[in-house]
Chains A and B, each alone.
Chain A
Amino acid sequence: MTPVRVVLPATLRSLAGISGEAVIDVDVDGDGEVTTAAVLDALDRCYPVLRWTLREQQSGSRRPFIRFFACQEDLSLELLDAPLPAAVAAGREPLVVIGAIAGG
């Protein structure tokens, strides 16, 4: 486990009672890396009310209007099992979850 910083949209922070960044303990995989899926699993564990708010219920894939940013990069189209940047795994940078601008 390693502590990872996560910035959530205001709606989800309010729902989960989080002020500011969430810092959660995330599983590290066999290669010593942290994946987006592992962060989302840890969020579900720490904040059960967030379950299925970022991933689709049946497929487990990213919900269409959810984006993942880190280290000034858009990681949204990466596989959820792909490793996050080392700076996120080391807790130097947060994983930023964005609700896409939509709706006019």
Chain B
Amino acid sequence: MSGVRVLVGTRKGAFVLTADGTRDDFSVEGPFFPGWEVYHLNGSPADPDRLWAAPSRGWFGQLVQRSDDGGKSWQPVSNEFAYEGETGTHQHYDGTSKPWSFLRTWHLEPSLDDPDTVWAGVEDAGLFRSSDGGTSWQELPGLRRHETAPSWAPGAGGMCLHTILIDPTDPARMHVAISAAGVLRSGDGGESWSLANRGLRSEFLPVPDADAGHCVHRLAAHRDRPEVLYMQKHWDVMRSDDGGGSWTEVSGDLPTDFGFAIDVHAHEPETVYVVPITSDSEHFPPGGQLRVYRSRSGGNEWQPLTEGLPQRHCYVNVLRDAMAVDLLEPCGVYFGTTGGQLYASPDSGDSWRAICHDLPAVMSVEVQTLP
């Protein structure tokens, strides 16, 4: 494997960084779609030059852009996300019922084996799929028609479907996460869904261990162990060993278990990374010290990683889609901050350096490992 391509979505455009396998020097291209909020940018595992981007603006709504040359050039594809049939309602912030309404695309998850197929998680929470390279999008309405959907309510960022995990051993098995409904799983390619929230507790709910309503911030899994899931919840870091059938808290000795991002080492399924954030009202690292925490035991015992990260006067946040790992040896870990820094570690988190200092606020980071 010869190098990496880092795909960065920011509040004011997208950036594409490339480096060889040493990951010493990164070239930076962009901004693409300058001025547009790029919630997510992702690449196809089946064709690394096929990239997808989801730029949006409050004035002009949602675009979807596709690149067939690794980000050198982009072309718009369909941006029409039409909910199928009766839209129904969900709860609004004030407890009233609000009709489902498309606002933006949060996450694009390309198929593992077909470059023309990509999944989109949107706000208000829905799951769409394109099987024709983005020419059209079709909703998988079984998710939105789940019996608990009328009780779903938005988190502070909106009622978004932000995480899509596809099981590499059986692509019909999927997990999605919605703020604030929780985790749902499908065994039939997204046609039907069941809740997967047993073991979660959220004190802001009238019934803290309710089946639905949990503000799940992010899920992650190792590709060789898809039944083992990790979760950063609004509060609590959680683990499931049965594909979401039940969850156990593994926050352990973290300084705070609030946060957004979580990811798993590419070669060590029990090595997990989180970035603890002080609280839901103080979206910055405890004590102004930016620290990634790594567990080598699948949770509970966590080690702060500080080398190369600012340890004073740092008040940035790391958003849910803004951490990624590469497949090189040793595994590289990357994350972006709301302060516009993009940090990379070529040694599994032992040391870090900012490969960009002054980007717009980073919303998403993905990494492609190039052949």
Contact = CB atoms under 8 A, between A and B. Distances in A.
Contacts of A56: 61
Interface string B76-91: 1001111100010000
Interface in B46-101: 57-63, 76, 79-83, 87, 101
A38 to B, nearest CB: 20
Nearest 7 A-B pairs (CB), nearest first? A53-B60, A49-B76, A65-B59, A99-B59, A57-B102, A52-B61, A52-B79
Interface in B21-60: 35, 57-60
B102 A12 contact: no
A58 B59 contact: no
B81 A12 contact: no
B104 to A, nearest CB: 11
A11 B59 contact: yes
Contact of B59 (A48, A51, A57, A66): A66
Contact of A102 (B58, B61, B102): B58
Contacts of A48: 76
Interface of A: 9, 11-12, 15, 48-49, 51-54, 56-58, 63, 65-66, 99-100, 102-103
B61 A58 contact: no
B102 A63 contact: no
Interface of B: 35, 57-63, 76, 79-83, 87, 101-102
A53 B79 CA distance: 9
A53 B57 CA distance: 9
23 contacts: A9-B59, A11-B35, A15-B76, A48-B76, A49-B63, A49-B76, A51-B79, A51-B80, A52-B62, A53-B60, A53-B61, A54-B60, A56-B61, A58-B82, A58-B87, A58-B102, A63-B59, A65-B58, A65-B59, A66-B59, A99-B59, A100-B59, A102-B58
Give the interface centre of A15, A53, A57 by most chain B CB atoms within 10 Å. Answer: A57
Nearest to B33: A15
Contacts of A103: 58
A9 to B, nearest CB: 8
Contacts of B83: 58
Give the interface centre of B57, B60, B83, B87 by most chain A CB atoms within 10 Å. Answer: B60
Contacts of B61: 52-53, 56-57, 63
B80 A11 contact: no
A63 B60 contact: yes
Nearest to A100: B59
Contacts of A57: 61, 80-82, 102
Contact of A12 (B60, B80, B82): B60
B63 to A, nearest CB: 7
A48 B219 CA distance: 35
Nearest to A10: B35
Give the interface centre of A58, A100, A103 by most chain B CB atoms within 10 Å. Answer: A58
Contacts of A99: 59-60
A58 B63 CA distance: 15
B148 to A, nearest CB: 23
A28 B204 CA distance: 56
A14 B57 CA distance: 14
A94 B330 CA distance: 60
A103 B68 CA distance: 34
